[in-house]
């Protein structure tokens, strides 16, 4: 018979098992999965924020370009219309918010223009990625008054006749 000393048996039993137990492996996988889910949620949120920022930047650029264009329009002459500037579609509709009146010169005398304040609704659409957006601006509309010779002022010889503006059209 084999005699095995009790010391050897006790030493074999006292040694810890090498490697991970099943429970330790499951706990490690749960911790890694939780950390990975938090990391993926953070990355997804970052990409969504970046997409919103890109859309907002594209919209701001489109509105700036549309505003630059609309500032060249005289709303008294072209109260509504639309145009395409590259991939930017701009539509406007103006309505007067003040009565038409003659402008005043430096000395307070009537000037050569009829003016009115307009509120312009501008719709901007940048194709294909930026959705339609609208904004309001106020802008001065103007029109040169038609002049007629003043019949009550007889010009002196060798001078030019005095001119008087026609009455401004009121609305």
pLDDT bracket for residue 118 (50, 70, 90): very high
User: Residues of the chain with pLDDT > 90: what percent?
Assistant: 45
Domain count, the chain: 1
Please check whether residue 84 lies inside any domain of the structure: yes
Q: Does residue 139 lie within any of the structural domains?
A: yes
**Which residue segment(s) compose the domain that 88 sits in?**
40-144
In this prediction the pTM is 0.61
d(CA 139, CA 23): 74
Taking only the tens place, the pLDDT of each residue in 27-56 is 999 999 999 999 999 999 999 999 999 888
pLDDT in tens, 63-114: 999 999 999 999 999 999 999 988 889 999 999 999 998 888 788 888 888 8
Residue 83 backbone dihedrals phi, psi, to 5 degrees? -155, 160
CA 106 → CA 24, 95, 115, distances in Å?
90, 28, 16
């Amino acid at each position: 018979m084999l005699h095995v000393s009790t010391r050897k048996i006790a030493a074999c039993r006292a040694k810890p098992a090498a490697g991970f137990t099943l429970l330790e492996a499951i706990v490690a996988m749960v911790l890694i999965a939780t950390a990975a889910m938090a990391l993926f949620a953070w990355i997804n949120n970052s990409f969504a924020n970046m997409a919103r920022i890109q859309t907002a930047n594209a919209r701001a650029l489109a509105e700036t370009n549309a505003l630059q264009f609309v500032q060249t329009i005289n709303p008294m002459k072209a109260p509504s219309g639309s145009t395409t500037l590259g991939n930017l579609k701009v539509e406007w509709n103006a309505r007067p918010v003040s009565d038409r009146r003659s402008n005043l010169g430096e000395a307070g005398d009537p000037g050569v223009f009829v003016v009115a304040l307009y509120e312009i609704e501008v719709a901007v659409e940048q194709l294909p990625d930026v959705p339609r957006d609208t904004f309001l601006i106020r802008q001065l509309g103007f029109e040169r008054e038609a002049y007629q010779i003043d019949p009550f002022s007889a010009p002196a010889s060798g001078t030019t006749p005095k001119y008087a503006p026609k009455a401004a059209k009121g609305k």
